[in-house]
């Protein structure tokens, strides 16, 4: 089961997500990002699929890279990752993320766009396992 | 959170050095602003104390009265670092939107000239200045080579293409070009993000506002700035767009890797830093200056389209006579001399406020001090201040950059739910054009402190002096 809670922050926007797996936390973080970027429900199926691989020395850095990558896809490539499937594995120097993205052209959901996000920050960033559940807390610069 | 501070005078508060702090921290506030800080559990003051832990900091770490909780540095944070004393540069002390800033234009029009064509002008501005995500200029074709020129030359490049007047450049902080820009330090992804976005506003708290001068407080300085009552002005607030965000992202990641190598202990990872005099520090400064130049060029190109919009609304160039009063940065790091030392001053959500006789001022302002532009919120007013000798002594020549938020975006939306803000503003005489209704709700006037309160503290603390108050009549939001 996945949980998502938006956090109050005076200047920026934050969220906390919880899931049964580490991959699930990264998927939930992507969903939380979309909730900041768009109003209302987005279609669950994309028009195009793409695979993505990222690596980082630790989980927090991987989370920032993951969210920054998705922000870039929306803002520069004009593609919205409406659905993500994420798998995490150990890498020689840290962690590796492999994802399958289902992408929808931004133009199709432009009317629901709510405002830009500049980047994910390291401020107060947490990605952790506690009692068999996985949790992340992220502040986005908007 | 446990934050102890002492009050030094009516508006000045000091947090004495403790724990890992290498310097005291000083902030400027009124009783009401102090109450806001307390209501956020002093989170922004803790961030200020964190800034004071960075190596080579020149005392004190400072926060302006529009201080609020950010990431890494607080918004409103100012900190100077001495390169000779192992001082560092931190992308978190500049922010993701490098050289986000404001530009004030003054026109030859009076409020009564504008009134009959206000709605028409609002539409023309909204058409000609792309805003919101995915906004692109289809009429400005840049390639990688020309973008590298923009990164090197800043606003000057835009003017040389015919989109502006040579005189515009004389009224921009640092002439619209930060020295030391190194386009080679800007990543390919940053280029990709920057290519389609030059001349676009963005969203969030970025805006384009047409105003009139409602009140002049200091006629002599106002005259030096070319401002008079009832005059129509334009304020442009935007930055370096995706290119700047990417430069910050790239270098925070690099600095996190190298900070341990330089023995820099980070109490917050968003404060990732490297010595100014290190290969990584110099690389960031080169990329940051390039992104700053993109932002200067961005505001210059938008100025061109604002002029076009006025012409499309029926104001001939000789009538609107739009000229740049000043353009200044909210988010950057600059080498300056303070107290006889060459230091790197980080300003994040803070503005330079150089006083009379300071270097790097347009000749016309050298005797009075630089214009300090302080946007408020879209429903109330903004201020023009002038930099003072007090700012040079107390705050590394810095002042506030705006009103500062008091409500989170979520709370602001909740508070205005069910209200028609567009109509409310129209009833107050303000034409609003916005890409997103949610941005409008998030940017509601009550989401911000009354900027008059912030300005009162700035003036009371001697960091700036009021020159004029501007009232909005047209607001364009992303």
Specify whether the CB–CB gap between B371 and B384 falls below 8 A. yes
Nearest-by-Cβ selection for B72 from A57, A107, A123: A123
The reported pLDDT for the residue numbered B417 is: 84
Residues of chain B under the 70 pLDDT cut:
1, 132-139
The reported pLDDT for the residue numbered B365 is: 96
CA distance B101 to B47: 22
The reported pLDDT for the residue numbered B102 is: 97
Task: Compute the average pLDDT of residues A83-100.
Answer: 94
State yes or no: pLDDT of A11 exceeds 80: no
Q: Which of B71, B295, B477 to mutate to test the interface with A (most CBs of A within 10 A)?
A: B71
Q: How do the domains of chain B map onto residue ranges?
A: 6-88+97-477
Helix (H, G, I), strand (E, B) or coil at B105: strand
Smallest Cα distance from B287 to chain A, Å: 17
CATH topology of domain B6-88+97-477: tRNA-splicing ligase RtcB (3.90.1860)
Q: Does A58 touch chain B (CB under 8 A)?
A: no
Nearest by Cα to B82 from B336, B351, B355, B353:
B336
DSSP letters, B137-157, are -SS----HHHHHHHHHHTHHH
pLDDT digits (tens, 9 = 90+) for A124-136: 899 998 888 999 9
Nearest by Cα to A30 from A91, A75, A71, A89:
A71
Write down the architecture of domain A16-141 according to CATH.
Answer: 3-Layer(bab) Sandwich (3.55)
Which residues, listed in sequence order, are joined to residue B101 by a DSSP beta bridge?
B238, B329
- The number of helices, as runs of H, and strands, as runs of E, in chain A is 2, 8
Q: Does A118 touch chain B (CB under 8 A)?
A: yes
pLDDT digits (tens, 9 = 90+) for A17-59: 999 999 999 999 999 999 999 988 899 899 999 999 999 999 9
- Is A113 within 8 Å of B70 when comparing Cβ atoms? no
Output A30 or A7, whichever has higher pLDDT: A30
The reported pLDDT for the residue numbered B134 is: 56
pTM: 0.95
Q: Which of A14, A40, A123, A140 to mutate to test the interface with B (most CBs of B within 10 A)?
A: A123
pLDDT digits (tens, 9 = 90+) for B306-321: 999 999 999 999 999 9
The reported pLDDT for the residue numbered B407 is: 83
Instruction: Quote the ipTM score.
Output: 0.93
CA distance B437 to B187: 34
Nearest by Cα to B101 from B293, B308, B264:
B293
Q: What is the largest CA-CA distance in chain A?
A: 43
Give the burial class of A26: count Cβ atoms within 10 A of its Cβ; 0-12 exposed, 13-18 middle, 19 or more buried.
buried
Nearest by Cα to B20 from B66, B59, B43, B51:
B51
Q: How do the domains of chain A map onto residue ranges?
A: 16-141
Q: Does A10 touch chain B (CB under 8 A)?
A: yes
Residue of A nearest to B189 (CA): A72
CA distance B77 to B93: 8
């Amino acid at each position: 089961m996945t949980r998502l809670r938006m956090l109050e922050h005076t200047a920026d926007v934050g969220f906390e997500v919880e899931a049964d797996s580490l991959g699930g936390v990264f998927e939930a973080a992507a969903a939380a990002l979309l909730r900041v970027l768009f109003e209302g429900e987005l279609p669950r199926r994309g028009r195009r699929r793409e695979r993505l691989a990222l690596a980082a020395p630790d989980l927090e850095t991987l989370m920032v890279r993951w969210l920054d990558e998705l922000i870039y896809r929306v803002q520069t490539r004009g593609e919205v990752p409406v659905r993500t499937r994420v798998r995490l594995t150990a890498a020689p120097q840290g962690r590796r993320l492999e994802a399958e993205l289902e992408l929808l052209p931004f133009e199709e959901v432009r009317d629901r766009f709510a405002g830009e996000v500049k980047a994910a920050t390291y401020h107060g960033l947490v990605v952790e396992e506690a009692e068999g559940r996985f949790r992340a807390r992220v502040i986005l610069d908007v | 959170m446990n934050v102890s501070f002492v009050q030094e005078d009516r508006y000045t508060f000091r947090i004495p050095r403790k724990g890992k702090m290498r310097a005291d921290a000083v902030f400027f506030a009124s009783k009401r602003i102090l109450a806001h800080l307390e209501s956020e559990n002093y989170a922004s003051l803790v961030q200020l104390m964190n800034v004071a832990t960075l190596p080579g900091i020149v005392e004190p770490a400072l926060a302006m009265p529009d201080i609020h909780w950010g990431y890494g540095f607080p918004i409103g944070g100012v900190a100077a670092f001495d390169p000779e004393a192992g001082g560092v540069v931190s992308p978190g002390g500049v922010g993701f939107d490098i050289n986000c800033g404001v530009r004030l234009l003054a026109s030859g029009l009076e409020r009564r000239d504008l009134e009959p064509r206000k709605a028409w002008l609002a539409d023309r501005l909204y058409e000609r200045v792309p805003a919101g995500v995915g906004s692109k200029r289809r009429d400005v074709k840049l390639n990688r080579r020309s973008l590298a020129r923009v990164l090197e030359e800043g606003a000057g490049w835009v003017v040389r293409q015919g989109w502006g007047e040579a005189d515009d450049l004389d009224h921009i902080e640092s002439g619209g070009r930060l020295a030391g820009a190194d386009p080679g330090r800007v990543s390919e992804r940053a280029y990709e993000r920057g290519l389609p976005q030059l001349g676009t506003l963005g969203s969030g708290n970025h805006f384009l506002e047409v105003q009139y001068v409602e009140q002049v407080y200091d006629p002599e300085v106002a005259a030096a700035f070319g401002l008079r009552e009832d005059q129509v002005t334009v304020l442009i607030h935007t930055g370096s767009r995706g290119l700047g965000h990417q430069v910050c992202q790239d270098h925070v990641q690099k600095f996190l890797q190298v900070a341990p190598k330089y023995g820099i202990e980070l109490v917050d990872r968003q404060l990732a830093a490297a010595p100014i005099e290190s290969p990584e520090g110099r690389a960031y400064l080169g990329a940051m200056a390039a992104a700053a130049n993109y932002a200067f060029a961005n505001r210059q190109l938008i100025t061109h389209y604002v002029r076009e919009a006025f012409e499309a609304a029926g104001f001939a160039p000789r009538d609107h006579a739009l000229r740049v009063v000043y353009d200044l940065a909210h988010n950057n790091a600059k080498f300056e001399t303070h107290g006889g030392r060459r230091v790197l001053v980080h300003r994040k959500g803070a503005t330079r406020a150089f006083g009379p006789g300071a270097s790097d001022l347009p000749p016309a302002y050298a005797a009075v001090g630089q214009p300090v532009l302080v946007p408020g919120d879209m429903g109330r007013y903004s201020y023009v201040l002038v930099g003072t000798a007090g700012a040079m002594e107390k705050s590394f020549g810095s002042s506030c950059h705006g009103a500062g938020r008091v409500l989170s975006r979520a709370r602001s939306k909740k508070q205005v739910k069910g209200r028609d803000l567009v109509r409310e503003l129209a009833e107050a005489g303000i034409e609003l054009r916005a890409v997103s209704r949610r941005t409008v709700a998030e940017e509601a006037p009550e989401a911000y402190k009354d900027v008059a309160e912030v300005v009162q503290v700035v003036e009371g603390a001697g960091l700036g002096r009021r020159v004029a108050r501007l009232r909005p009549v047209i607001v364009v939001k992303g």
